[in-house]
Amino acid sequence: MWTTILLVIGAVFLLSAAYAAASGAPWVPTKKGDVARLQRLLNLKSGDKFVELGCGNGRVCRGIAEKHSDVEVVGVELSLLQYLVAQLQGARSHTTFKLQNVFAHDLSGYNAVYMFLMPETYQKIESKLLRELQPGAQVVSYVWPIPGWEDRLVQVDKAEGKLDLFLYKT
């Protein structure tokens, strides 16, 4: 009986992780040291609203929330297991995690976005970012640039032996 229940739970976790991987990117966390680089790169001010698209276990959201108690932090995640881990580790009054597809999440209230997704997902989501984000919003992509956004690029944060962070403004 318990074995069956555990197998069903495991299958649900696996299927939702596989679905998330197919629709945006598999789960690979941002490296811990790179969260500090992101914090330095983003110019966050009191009252800003930050969203992480595909927040995994919430490491980046927790890092942003710890440094900025006056910024509203939202993490959107499609994989059930990652979402539950983020919820368990990251609940704070100004941090919210949502179990949702990033393509269905309304971005209109945000002025800062971070994403670590596959390059083809950046290509698919860039028109949504431009349509819904406030003008002048900061968008940071990790590892890969956003295709077609060369004229919006503000800075590429490079560090020896580290992956690149690309800062854009809409």
| Contacts with ligand SAM, residue ranges (CB under 6 A) | 20, 23-25, 27-30, 52, 54-56, 59-60, 76-79, 82, 101-103, 116-117
Please report the DSSP string for 78-98 in residue order.
--HHHHHHHHHHH-BTTEEEE
Q: Which is closer to ligand SAM, CB of 23 or CB of 96?
A: 23
Minimum Å distance from CB 85 to ligand SAM?
10
Minimum Å distance from CB 55 to ligand SAM?
5
Which residue is at the shortest CB distance from ligand SAM? 24
Q: Which is closer to ligand SAM, CB of 29 or CB of 145?
A: 29
Are 46 and 72 within 8 A, CB to CB?
no
Are 67 and 92 within 8 A, CB to CB?
no
Between 2-23 and 80-90, two packed helices, what is the crossing angle to 10 degrees? Answer: 100
**Cα 26 versus chain centre, distance:** 13
DSSP 3-state assignment of 163? coil
Are 123 and 147 within 8 A, CB to CB?
yes
DSSP 3-state assignment of 145? coil
Minimum Å distance from CB 43 to ligand SAM?
20
Q: Which is closer to ligand SAM, CB of 141 or CB of 151?
A: 141
Minimum Å distance from CB 136 to ligand SAM?
23
The dihedral region occupied by 46, where left means phi > 0, alpha psi between -120 and 50, and beta the remainder, is beta
Q: Which is closer to ligand SAM, CB of 54 or CB of 90?
A: 54
Q: Which is closer to ligand SAM, CB of 38 or CB of 151?
A: 38
Minimum Å distance from CB 58 to ligand SAM?
8
